[in-house]
Amino acid sequence: MTSLVLLDQALRLHDNPLLWYGARADGTAGEQRLVAVVCLDKSAFFSKQYGLARASLLRLQQQLQLISGTKQALARFNIGLVTLFGEPAAEISRLAMQLQASQIVAASPTGYREQQTLAKLSDRYQVTTIDVNSLLGTAALTPELSRLPDSFSAFRKQREPLLQVAPAVATYQPQPAQQWLTPEQSSVFYENFHQLAAFSQPSLPPGSDEQHALQRLDDYIWQQHAISHYKSSRNGLSGDYYASKFSAPLATGCLSARYCWQQILQYEQQIEANESTYWLKFELLWREFFRWQFRKYTNAWFSKHAIKGPLDFSPPTLTKARQEHFNNWCAGTTGVPFIDANMRLLNSTGLMSNRGRQNVASFLIHDLGVDWRLGAAYFEQRLLDYDVASNWGNWAYIAGSGNSGERQFNVIKQALSYDPEGDFVRAMLPELTAKGSLIHQPAAEVKVPEHWRNWLAKLTEKKL
C-alpha cells in the first residue's frame, strides 16, 4: 500500500507522529511505501479576501524557507519531499493517482479550509488524521466538541485539573518498516512548485525553521531563564525576552506545542515553578481553546457576527470616510501615536506584541467603527505567526462576536501604562519629537472620543 504523508502543518522532525506513520505498525519490513508531501495552497497565499492580499511576501518567503529547510533535513535520511503548489485537494489527488496511493495521512485540521480539503480527499481516499499540533490531541484527552465550553474560563476550569499533556514522540529516525520515496524519485513531481522559485529569498533573516525554533526555546527557557519572569514582562511591546516568541514556529508547525509544554514542565521540576511558568502554560491553553473552538464552529468564525447571531458571510462594507480610516490604520498613519507605532512594527517585522494587538484591534473596531473582519484579514496578510484560530478567534473576541462580550481598550490609558515614557513610540515614529509621555498626544486632526479626555489630561499633568 502507498500512503501520502502530508506534512503541511508539521514541517519538523521532533515530536512528529506523522513521520513515524507505519514505522511499527506491523513490523513487516518493506510493506509501507510512504511519500512525504507538502502542498502550498495557492489561494491561501495568492488570492484576495475583502480586497486585501491574503499573504505578504514576507509570509510567503517564510513558508518557502521552512519547506526548503525541511526538504534538506529529510534528504539527510534519503527521504524526498514532494512539493506541490495549487489547489490542495486537486494537487494531492493528482499525485495520489500518479503514485497509485490509496491512503492519505495528515495533521488533524483546525481551520475550515483544511477541513474542506480533507473532506474532499476522503471521498476517494482513505484519510487518516493525527492531531500533531494540539496539547489535547491524544485520544484520551480530546474534548467532546458538543460539550466544549464557549468561555475560556470554563474551558480552563474544565480541563486544567485533568490536564496531562502526552509526552512528545522521539525525534524522527528512519525505520526499517518504512519505505520512503527518495529525493531523486520525488523530484519528478515538482513542476508547479518551480513557479515559486522567483519568490525565494535566501537572505531572509533566520528564524523560521525547526532548528531556529528549538534554539529559541532553549535560549528563552534554559539559557536566559526568561520564563521565570514571563508574567511580569509579557505585556511588553518590543525587545528580545519580554515574551517567548514561540508563536510563529507554533503557527507554521515547525515547533510542537506538546514539546513546549513538556519543556516548561521540566523547567518547573529542575529549576523553579512560579506564577510565570504557570502563566506561559496558561497562554498555551488560550491557543488550545481557540483550536477546539474552531473545530466546533468551523466557518461560522468568518461570518459577520462570528459565533453569535445568524450566519452572514456578506463582505464588510465601508463608507468613504471609514475606508480612509481603515487605510490609515493599515499604514500606521491614524495620528494616534500608540496605534501607529504598533502598526508600523507589524508592517516592518510581521509581528506585534499581544498588548499591541489588543489595542490596535479595539481601536479599529470600537473607535473607528470598522468591521472586525477587515482587521482580521489585514492581520492574516501581515502576521508571520498567522494562525487561523488564534487570529480570527481573538479578533472576534475583542469585537464581542466570539467567546466574550465586547472588549474596548482606552488606548491613551494603555499607552500611559505600557509605554509610560513613550520610548516604544519614539523608536517606531522617529518623526515625533515630544518629550516623555507627551509623545502619546494624538495629532490635531484626530477626532478625540469622550473616553480619552481624562487620560489626555494626564499626559499634560505629567509634563507639569
Q: Kindly list the distances between the CA atom of residue 241 and the CA atoms of 223, 230, 235, 280, 415, in Å, as whole numbers in the listed order.
A: 11, 9, 11, 13, 20
Nearer to ligand FAD, 341 or 361 (CB): 361
Question: Which three-class secondary structure state does DSSP give residue 128?
Answer: strand
> Minimum distance from CB of 230 to ligand FAD (Å)?
7
Q: Residues 179-198: x/- map of binding to ligand FAD (CB under 6 A)?
A: --------------------
> Minimum distance from CB of 76 to ligand FAD (Å)?
29
What are 65's three cell numbers? 524557507
Give Cα 352 to chain centroid, integer Å: 12
Nearer to ligand FAD, 101 or 217 (CB): 217
Is 286 annotated to bind ligand? yes
Could you tell me whether strands 52-53 and 48-49 are parallel, antiparallel, or unpaired per DSSP bridges? Answer: antiparallel
Stretch that binds ligand FAD, among 5-13, 36-44, 281-289, 447-455 (CB under 6 A): 281-289
Asked if 96 and 125 touch (Cβ cutoff 8 Å), the reply is: yes
> Minimum distance from CB of 385 to ligand FAD (Å)?
4
Stretch that binds ligand FAD, among 78-86, 264-272, 349-357, 438-446 (CB under 6 A): 349-357
Asked whether position 354 contacts ligand FAD by CB under 6 A, the answer is yes
Interior CA angle at 279 toward 278 and 283, to 5°? 125
Instruction: State which of residues 212, 258, 344, 357 lies at the interface with ligand FAD (CB under 6 A).
Output: 357
Q: Residues 286-305: x/- map of binding to ligand FAD (CB under 6 A)?
A: xx--x---------------
Asked if 9 and 114 touch (Cβ cutoff 8 Å), the reply is: yes
Site for ligand FAD in 228-267 (CB under 6 A): 234, 243-247, 250-251
3-state SS of 287-345? HHHHHHHHHHHHHHHHCCCCCCCCCCCCCCCCCHHHHHHHHHHHHCCCCCHHHHHHHHH
Is 285 annotated to bind ligand? yes
Integer Cα distance of 304 and 187 in angstroms: 44
Nearer to ligand FAD, 390 or 441 (CB): 390
> Minimum distance from CB of 162 to ligand FAD (Å)?
20
Site for ligand FAD in 394-413 (CB under 6 A): 394-395
> Minimum distance from CB of 222 to ligand FAD (Å)?
15
Characterize 319-350 residue by residue with b for buried, 16 or more Cβ atoms within 10 angstroms of its Cβ, and e for exposed: eeebeebbebbbebebebbbbbbbbbbbbeeb
What are the backbone angles phi and psi of residue 38, rounded to the nearest 5°? Answer: -135, 140
Nearer to ligand FAD, 91 or 367 (CB): 367
> Minimum distance from CB of 351 to ligand FAD (Å)?
7
Is 230 annotated to bind ligand? yes
> Minimum distance from CB of 248 to ligand FAD (Å)?
7
Integer Cα distance of 354 and 360 in angstroms: 10
Closest to 254 in 3D by CA, of 130, 388, 69, 43: 69
Stretch that binds ligand FAD, among 261-269, 325-333, 338-346, 353-361 (CB under 6 A): 353-361
Is 289 annotated to bind ligand? yes
Instruction: State which of residues 166, 283, 299, 436 lies at the interface with ligand FAD (CB under 6 A).
Output: 283
Beta bridge partners of 3: 34, 103
Integer Cα distance of 227 and 243 in angstroms: 8
Residue 408 DSSP one-character state: -
Q: Cell numbers 490609558 correspond to what residue?
A: 413
The single-letter code of the amino acid at 273 is A
Site for ligand FAD in 374-393 (CB under 6 A): 379, 383, 385-387, 390-391
Nearer to ligand FAD, 120 or 234 (CB): 234
Cβ burial, residue 35 (10 Å; 0-12/13-18/19+): buried
> Minimum distance from CB of 401 to ligand FAD (Å)?
13
What are 34's three cell numbers? 510512504
**Count of residues that interact with ligand FAD, criterion CB under 6 A:** 28
> Minimum distance from CB of 18 to ligand FAD (Å)?
20
Is 87 annotated to bind ligand? no
Is 421 annotated to bind ligand? no
> Minimum distance from CB of 274 to ligand FAD (Å)?
16
Annotated binding site for FAD: 230, 283-290, 385-387
Binding residue positions: 230, 283-290, 385-387
Summarize as ranges the residues that interact with ligand FAD (CB under 6 A): 234, 243-247, 250-251, 280, 283-284, 286-287, 290, 353-354, 357-358, 361, 379, 383, 385-387, 390-391, 394-395
